[in-house]
Amino acid sequence: MNTHAELRRQNAGTVLGDLDPYRIFAYAFGVPSLERFAWLSREDVQSAFDSLGKQLDMPRPLRERKGFADSAEYEAAYLGLFEVGMPEPPVPLLESSHHRAIPAQQIVLDCVNFYSVLGLRHEGSAFPADHLITQLEFLAAAKFARESISDPERKSELLRLERDFLERHLLLWLPVALKKLERLGPPLFPRLLSLTHELMRNELESLQESGTP
């Protein structure tokens, strides 16, 4: 019998065309471009995000808030929020920027150790090891490996890997970043980050309900 979390995850995948939700939000928070802005502005994409929010019991639709007037405003907001600032941007998309009690080197090393389990090397990546996009891409790879393998023992190991990474990383720092972003109140980005966080929580719930110790 499907659990509530499993049903929610299946529905979320359906409304977004059965695409991996990790990769969807890694793309949504990518470096601003005309193509990305056009995609985010599409009526069907906005409707899909609104439907996903309803599936995740988030009643406020994306379109209720004022959007960006054009791609230049979108790019300026992205850079001003996530990339540029003194001594740092207002809301860096880096885990180490939101956990002052933990040395940045320790956070990065732990991420790299997780990545190495799948044989993934961070060298040459466009983003730091503790960047939101890098973390989401790792989770997408872990999920794909888990769902593609038939060996029960290896599948269980990959499930624990995905679950542990969510608990030790994304679900610890995303709420902190989200609070900062919501206080600033820009268009679009708080809703997208909130959806990302809720999807991660939902995914973790589904993994925990699998029964793997």
Residue whose entry in the numeric block shows the structure tokens 């790879």: 141
**What CATH number has the domain bearing residue 151?**
1.10.3480.10
Q: Is residue 172 part of a domain?
A: yes
Residue 101 is assigned to a structural domain of this protein: yes
Residue 131, SS3? strand
Q: Is residue 95 a part of any domain in this protein?
A: yes
Q: What is the token pair recorded at 47?
A: 């409707």
Closest CA to 195 of 57, 18, 83, 20: 57
Considering the domain boundaries, does residue 10 fall inside one?
yes
Tokens read off for 20: 């991996």
164 is a domain residue: yes
Question: Residue 14: is its pLDDT beyond 50?
Answer: no
In this structure, what are the phi and psi dihedrals at residue 31, rounded to the nearest 5 degrees?
A: -55, 130
pLDDT tens readout for residues 170-204: 999 999 999 999 999 899 999 899 999 998 998 88
Q: Which residues constitute the domain of residue 198?
A: 4-208
Does any domain span residue 213?
no
Average pLDDT, the chain: 83
Q: Considering only residues 58 and 96, tell me which one the structure prediction assigns the higher pLDDT.
A: 96
Model confidence pLDDT, tens digit, residues 137-175: 999 999 999 988 888 888 899 999 999 999 999 999 999
Q: Does 56 map to a domain?
A: yes
Note whether residue 161 is domain-resident.
Answer: yes
Q: How many domains does the chain have?
A: 1
